[in-house]
Structures are given as C-alpha cells and as structure tokens.
Amino acid sequence: MKHREYMWLGRAAVLGLLTGLGACGGGNSGAAPQGLSQTALAGQQLFFDASLSASGKQSCGTCHVPSRAFTANPATDQGLPVPLGGPNMDLPGFRNTPSLMYSSFTPPFDGTGLVGGFFRDGRASSLAVQAEQPFVTPFEMANSGPAEVVTRLQNSPASLQAFEGVYGSEVLNDPATALQDMGLAIAAFETEEPSFHPFSSKYDYWLQGQAQLTTQEQQGLALFNNPVKGNCTACHPSQRQGYSDHALFTDFTYDNIGIPRNWSIAANFPKPVSPIDGVPLSYVPAQSNVPGDAEYGYYDMGLCGPFAPPADDPNPRVSLATTTTVCGQFKVPTLRNIAITAPYYHNGAFGSLQQVLEWYVTRDINNDTGNNPNPVAAGSADGNPYVAVGTFYTAADGTADQFEYNDLPVDYDANVNVGEVPYTPPTFGGGQAPTLDAEEIEDIIAFLCTLTDGYDPSNPAAYDVPAQCTAPVNVLTPTSSAASASR
C-alpha cells in the first residue's frame, strides 16, 4: 500500500528525541543534561539496541518508530498492518503496533471496571513488565529466554555499560532478574523522555490561547464532543481526566466495536501461512473460547484471548479467557497523533481516517449481511455519504460477508456495542441516517489533525500535518493479494 502520509516525519517530536539521543552517554553522576535519570538513559540505550534481538535487526524502536509517534512503519513491513519479526525477520505478528506516546499515563488494570493495563488487551500489569515481553516473543525479538537476552547484552558494549552503571554486573548471573531490570530501565525511559508526551499539539496550544483553530477545526471539535453526532469524547475524552493534567483522548476502558476482519493478517487466512514465504504459521496460539459455530479458525478477541497474561508478571491480570461477554473488547487507544499512525485499530483494518469515520457512522446500516436485511445504499438522502453497500465486511475473496461482525464468532455478535452513537443501527433513534454527513466527517478529520504534536506557536506555518489532513485520503487496505496468498 502506498500512503503518502508514511513519508511524513514528525519534526518537533523527533528533534526532541534526537536531542536526547545526542546527549546520551557520558555523565556519571547527577542529572543528565536533558534531565533523564541514569536509569532512563540506560533504558534509552536498550530501547534502540537491535543487537539484543535474535535477528540482530530489531529493537523496540524498529516497531515503535519515533517519527511515527512510536508506531511501526508498514512500509518497512512489506505493507502489512502487523509488524514482521523473529530470527529471520519473516514472521508476521498478530496486531497493529500501538503508539507508545502518552502510554505512560495508563493506569494499572482494574478488573472491576475493566480499565487500564498494558497491551491492547491489558495483559501486562506495568510498562516494565510489558517491556520484558518483546525480547522473548518468538515473532518479535525472538530470544529463547532471559539467558539469551543477557548473553546478547553482554556482547553489546554500550548497552552493557549503561545497564551495569545502574544495576551492577552481579545481577547478570540471574538472567530473570536482569531482564526485569531491563524492563524497569525501558519503562523509566518511556516515562521520563519528554518526546513520549510533549503535549505540543495545535489543540494544546489552542487550549492555552496560543493558537487559533480554524472554523472547520472548531466545528470538528464540537461534533467530536456532541453526544448525538460524533460522541467520540464518550470513549476518547477531549477533556482532562484523573490520569494527567491534559486530555489524553482515551479513558483506558475496553470496548467491542465490531471492527471488520482484516484479511491481510496471516493468522486470519483460511489456512494460516506466512505471506512472505508461504510456510504454515506454527505459532498461532490455540483458542479455547471459540464456539463451535465459528466461521473461521482464528479470532483475535482481545480481553478474552488468545493472548494470556505473562507467566512471570508479579501482579498478573485476572484471566478473562472464559468470560465470553468480554470477547472482542480492546483497549480504547489515544487519538493524539492519530493522523500519522495509520493503519487504524488493533487489526489495522482501515488505512485512513476517512474510512474510520465512514465506517463508524454506517457500520450497522449499509452492510449487506444477514444481520441487516435492508442495507441503506450509498448516496441516498438518508444513506451512507460515500461507501457502497457491502464495502466493509468482506469474506477472504472480497465478496460481502454473510455476517456483519466477521472478526468475532457469530455466537459473540451480541457483545458488540450497538447502543452508543456514532453507531447507527436501523432502529436506533428511530431512523437510519448516519449521525454524521460527508462535510461533518471532514470537520472531524480536520479536528483530529490538530492532535498532531509539534506545533510551534511562534511559527504556525511550519506545522506539518500529513496528506490526509489536507485532502481526503480513501485507501482500502490491500486485502486481495494477501488473501490470495492463502489459497
């Protein structure tokens, strides 16, 4: 897929980070020049050290690229919505890489209200526990265990020096503890380094009276907040909550919003094989919670699996594998920097904000499935402003899928949130009209673009926003080639 927005480089945020990198190393006591603790500086060194992976080619920073708000770059992952990793960098992952920006504000998982926790299913209890996992995940950095990670650390002089400067050398005799310390250092980096949370968007400066939002951007904000229009703020709050002094555009809760299946994820293929070399995927996790009526073999159902809390987590999240009512729920992500982090959702089903918005407001009215006997045609007065009936829910061969929420077993379709705007089931509010028309969708996108960090109030003209902010970009994710690879 060719997205012009991937070419964009987030200037200010990147410059901030690079300044930090430039100042790295040296100092042996007191605060480092840019204010990072020695622990965070060690974490920074580990975060960008590809020699700690089995391939020698992958670090945290390979999948969490600073210029892309710390998301992956599909352009370097053969256009896939999920990253490649493993010893030979040819094993596709299961989920779209989330932005790490603002993730240090995430509260610990709360099993009562289903809030917080790390990963899209909250399965890691802290940033530090999360940071241990990629090192030993077979389709990511792919070490066989903590001992192999420690051996690689011992062979990487700059990282070893930074690590020993904080934790000493003794701990290397206890690889499990050493890996925990590496996690703590990386978590300190993600928490302290300002470029993970600069709050430097146009919206932030506007709130402080140092920037002007255009009329369109202000209309977009109003629609974003309006409970009968976008209602986005209900899950992506535009007002600050208890987690930060600033609005984070996530409330860290979980929801099942019925996203279409993405046929370019290898695990979703009718016969899961690598899109790179056609070799069967041997590492697709077994699922116990898929009912017998399931259409397909593999489902990513978020909170209820297939991924379980790490075995070595000191505060393990409660297992939700048998709580089937939460199947399909994923953590609400922040919308800060959303314009530069395509593709969207846990499965990368959509390539542009235009598609995201079109899908949100027409999800339940223009699909051509058994769930919806009377699809509302595109272009009709009360219909979808853009998209032909049957666009979003497709089977592997591209034809309309028989079932609407096709990334969930049919038995769990009732888990999908249908009661809240912007979803518009035919019966909702007594009508079939989408809650947003074409122009209103443009307005919301214009507002979402103001959440891009790197605005300079002394030089507004230099604010660099990606292509989809200046002209509608409507790119469907490339499902056909990947799906045919599975035949």
60 binds ligand HEC (CB under 6 A): yes
The size of the chain, in residues, is 487
Query: Judged by CB under 6 A, which of 44, 159, 180, 231 binds ligand HEC?
Result: 231
Query: Judged by CB under 6 A, which of 38, 39, 74, 95 binds ligand HEC?
Result: 95
257 binds ligand HEC (CB under 6 A): yes
Q: Return the residues of window 172-211 that contact ligand HEC according to CB under 6 A.
A: 186
- Compare residues 260 and 383 and give the one whose CB is closer to ligand HEC: 260
Q: Return the residues of window 30-49 that contact ligand HEC according to CB under 6 A.
A: none
CA distance 334 to 222: 18
Question: Is-contact 361 355, C-beta < 8 A?
Answer: no
Burial class (CB in 10 A: 0-12, 13-18, 19+), 314: exposed
Burial class (CB in 10 A: 0-12, 13-18, 19+), 313: middle
Query: Judged by CB under 6 A, which of 6, 109, 196, 345 binds ligand HEC?
Result: 345
- Compare residues 69 and 483 and give the one whose CB is closer to ligand HEC: 69
- ∠ CA(242), CA(243), CA(249), 5° rounding? 100
Stretch touching ligand HEC by CB under 6 A, among 112-120, 162-170, 385-393, 467-475? 112-120
Q: Return the residues of window 415-454 that contact ligand HEC according to CB under 6 A.
A: 417, 420, 422, 444
83 binds ligand HEC (CB under 6 A): yes
Residue 78 DSSP SS3? coil
Residues 6+ apart with CB under 8 A from 218: 447
Query: Judged by CB under 6 A, which of 87, 116, 230, 375 binds ligand HEC?
Result: 230
100 binds ligand HEC (CB under 6 A): yes
Query: Judged by CB under 6 A, which of 32, 136, 160, 332 binds ligand HEC?
Result: 332
CB of 130 to ligand HEC, least distance (A): 5
- Compare residues 52 and 395 and give the one whose CB is closer to ligand HEC: 52
Please report, for residues 10, 157, 432, 435, 443, the alpha-carbon distance to residue 227 in angstroms, rounded to integers and kept in the order given: 32, 55, 17, 10, 16
Stretch touching ligand HEC by CB under 6 A, among 20-28, 119-127, 204-212, 466-474? 119-127
Nearest partner of 414 among 327, 314, 305, judged by Cα: 327
- Compare residues 111 and 460 and give the one whose CB is closer to ligand HEC: 111
Beta bridge partners of 297: none
CB of 459 to ligand HEC, least distance (A): 28
Nearest partner of 407 among 416, 399, 398, judged by Cα: 416
- Compare residues 63 and 80 and give the one whose CB is closer to ligand HEC: 63
In the numeric block, which tokens belong to residue 8? 């964009």
Q: Quick check: bond before 460 cis, omega within 30?
A: no
Question: Is-contact 42 164, C-beta < 8 A?
Answer: no
Residue 453 φ then ψ, to 5°: -70, 160
Query: Judged by CB under 6 A, which of 115, 188, 338, 339 binds ligand HEC?
Result: 338
- Compare residues 42 and 257 and give the one whose CB is closer to ligand HEC: 257
Nearest partner of 92 among 81, 107, 100, judged by Cα: 81
Question: Is-contact 404 413, C-beta < 8 A?
Answer: yes
Residue 55 DSSP SS3? coil
CB of 483 to ligand HEC, least distance (A): 20
Stretch touching ligand HEC by CB under 6 A, among 163-171, 204-212, 332-340, 451-459? 332-340
**Residue 285: count of CB within 10 angstroms of its CB:** 13
232 binds ligand HEC (CB under 6 A): yes
CA distance 94 to 97: 9
Query: Judged by CB under 6 A, which of 39, 44, 125, 130 binds ligand HEC?
Result: 130
In the numeric block, which tokens belong to residue 64? 């969490």
- Compare residues 176 and 457 and give the one whose CB is closer to ligand HEC: 176
Interacting residue ranges for ligand HEC, rule: CB under 6 A: 58, 60, 62-64, 83, 85, 93, 95, 97-98, 100, 103, 106, 118-121, 127, 130-131, 134-135, 140-141, 186, 230-232, 234-236, 255, 257, 259, 307, 330, 332-333, 335, 338, 341, 344-346, 356-357, 360, 417, 420, 422, 444
